[in-house]
Homo-oligomer: A and B are copies of this chain.
Amino acid sequence: MSDEVPKAEFSDSVLIKSIIRREDGGSGLAGKKARIGGWVKTGRKADKDAFAFLELNDGSCAGNLQVIIDASLADLGQLVQTGTCVVVEGHLKLPPSGAKQKIELRAEEVLHVGPVDPAKYPLPKTRLTLESLRDFVHLRSRTNTISAVARIRNALAYATHTFFNKHGFLYVHTPIVTTSDCEGAGEMFQVTTLFSEAERLEKELIQNPPPTEADVEAAKLVVQEKGEVVSQLKSAKADKKEISAAVAELKKAKENVSKLEERSKLQPGIPRKDGKVDYTKDFFARQAFLTVSGQLQVESYACALSRVYTFGPTFRAENSHTSRHLAEFWVVEPEIAFADLEDDMKCAEAYVKFLCRWLLDNCLEDMEFMADKFDKGCIDRLKMVASTPFIRLTYTEAVEILEESVQNGKKFEKEVEWGIDLASGHERYLTEVKYQKPVIVYNYPKDIKAFYMRLNDDLETVAAMDVLVPKVGELIGGSQREERYDVIQQRLEEMDLPVEPYEWYIDLRRYGTVKHAGFGLGFERMILFATGLENIRDVIPFPRYPGRADL
């Protein structure tokens, strides 16, 4: 056995987690040499400044490694500042008995110091609020909370890919830029090059002004002249060579006129036609938007490959300033062919349970941090969801239960009535108060749901379902899709939607149609559910919302 702890691959240092996250807490490595790099969480000098204790963290896990450094090795005053980057080499040793840590490092060499001026560093040792950290998105991942969120987010993403691959789903990259404007352009971001093109043109026209009318007239005169020359030569039965030279000159003169005419039409500003913006001049030759969902596109892959999922960013240009809305957020959307609503609900339940179990098995240290600092119940909540069968209620049953609770004195902000969508307060009541476990509500009134959801035999409801969980309410929304050609046509008509933009979608029903179902899980909502954090802006690395898109 080597007397050195093996370095992480592609690095000259050992990851701290490979020391302190061993079953023995690292004690079995005592006596071994190791090179460690990390950032100082806290540092203090001791024994009349003869040496310093540093709590070093490298983000590979929540815990720190304690490093002891002699004053002879480096400027300890610089080293003990929170945020300093340090690379040291030394031997691991057992701490004095009674110490919290199982192992520590006695430095023998300081190989790198990335200093911090504590007077300027925006992240002092004292805890900042999550809100004020949002002004430093480029640095906030150095805090305990945001780095724990990053590890939990990574674990949930990896668990997602693991779950769907395990079950034979193919990951499909649906487009970000889309010309299917399915939920109304009002809430969509537009993608364009018209502004930069206009700017470019404006500069170009200043440097090289367009021809005046007189310039064009002069050029036309040249054409006339050249034309006359040609006629004269022809009627004079001149040499063929001479004629074709004159014709060539005439052609050139004509080309010059059309070039000038083209340029004289150039107008600075956004191109317009018939009183409207002329999107045929835009990059994609039509209006293009950022996607609000990959569902419709991924359905086309499900109707060929049977089981697919998409996991990517989606966008909403809503002017929402709440703790639950982002302009850019990530969504997981599986789609299954040869599956109905029942299969869809089974899949959603299995997936959510898998995610919860994964965090318990792979992220317990970070979950314990969350339980300690933010939400005492978060670990129990994961355990409960991982092991409890989800309640299933039809929408109609859910409304009855809510009405009953109102009769028993429960007050809701929004009224309960069959035919109106459940409000967040209703959903929270069902999952947090009435059942205290996940609830799937299904078979919603058709008038409050999208045209693509499958019409049930009662002709009043559609095969839609929402998964509600304690802490966040709606976590998943899904449905069986309407696979019947005539029914989907009729639904579009009923809902007064234009058919043309959906022709490709209807093609999936026109040719080899198949029963299929799917759902969407809001990835940030899942992280809120898991961690107990309150604000969605803290669970995505770079939050985008009205007025803010830092970096």
A interface residues (Cβ-Cβ under 8 A, vs B): 8-13, 15, 17, 37-40, 58-60, 83-85, 87, 112, 114-117, 120-122, 137-139, 141-142, 147, 150-151, 153-154, 157-158, 161, 165, 167-168, 170-180, 185-186, 188-193, 195-196, 200, 270, 277, 283-286, 288, 290, 296-297, 300-301, 303-307, 312-313, 315, 317, 327-328, 330, 336-340, 343-344, 346-347, 350, 483, 504-505, 507-508, 510-515, 540-542, 544, 546-551
Contacts and interface: CB of A to CB of B under 8 A. Distances in A.
A549 B179 contact: yes
B172 A336 contact: no
A283 B175 contact: no
Contacts of A179: 549-551
Copies in the complex: 2
A388 to B, nearest CB: 19
A508 B548 CA distance: 21
Contact of A515 (B59, B112, B283, B340): B112
Given A191-B191, A312-B312, A37 B514 contact: yes
A230 to B, nearest CB: 38
- Which of the listed residues A200, A290, A306, A330 has the most CB atoms from chain B within 10 Å of its own CB? A306
A178 B305 contact: no
A383 B207 CA distance: 56
Of A138, A179, A200, A317, which is in contact with the most chain B CB atoms at under 10 Å from its CB?
A138
Contacts of A340: 12
Question: Which of A153, A176, A188 has the largest count of B CB atoms less than 10 A from its CB?
Answer: A176
B511 A313 contact: no
Contacts of A547: 283-285
Given A122-B511, A150-B170, 12 more contacts: A15-B307, A37-B514, A85-B513, A121-B511, A154-B170, A154-B172, A178-B549, A192-B195, A195-B277, A284-B548, A301-B541, A312-B312
User: Which 3 residue pairs spanning A and B have beta carbons closest together?
Assistant: A59-B305, A114-B513, A10-B347
Contact of A168 (B60, B117, B330): B60
A514 B9 contact: no
Contacts of A84: 512
Given A9-B350, A87-B338, A514-B114, A139 B550 contact: no
B173 A313 contact: yes
A15 B306 contact: yes
A189 B190 CA distance: 10
A141 B305 contact: yes
Contacts of A12: 338-340, 343
A369 to B, nearest CB: 15
A39 B516 CA distance: 14
Contacts of A83: 511-512
B346 A10 contact: yes
A237 B470 CA distance: 63
B10 A147 contact: no
29 contacts: A10-B347, A11-B337, A11-B338, A17-B168, A37-B306, A37-B338, A59-B305, A60-B305, A85-B513, A114-B483, A114-B512, A116-B511, A141-B300, A141-B304, A142-B304, A151-B170, A154-B165, A161-B161, A173-B313, A173-B330, A174-B541, A175-B551, A176-B290, A191-B290, A192-B192, A283-B327, A297-B551, A313-B313, A504-B550
Nearest to A314: B176
A510 B120 CA distance: 10
B176 A176 contact: yes
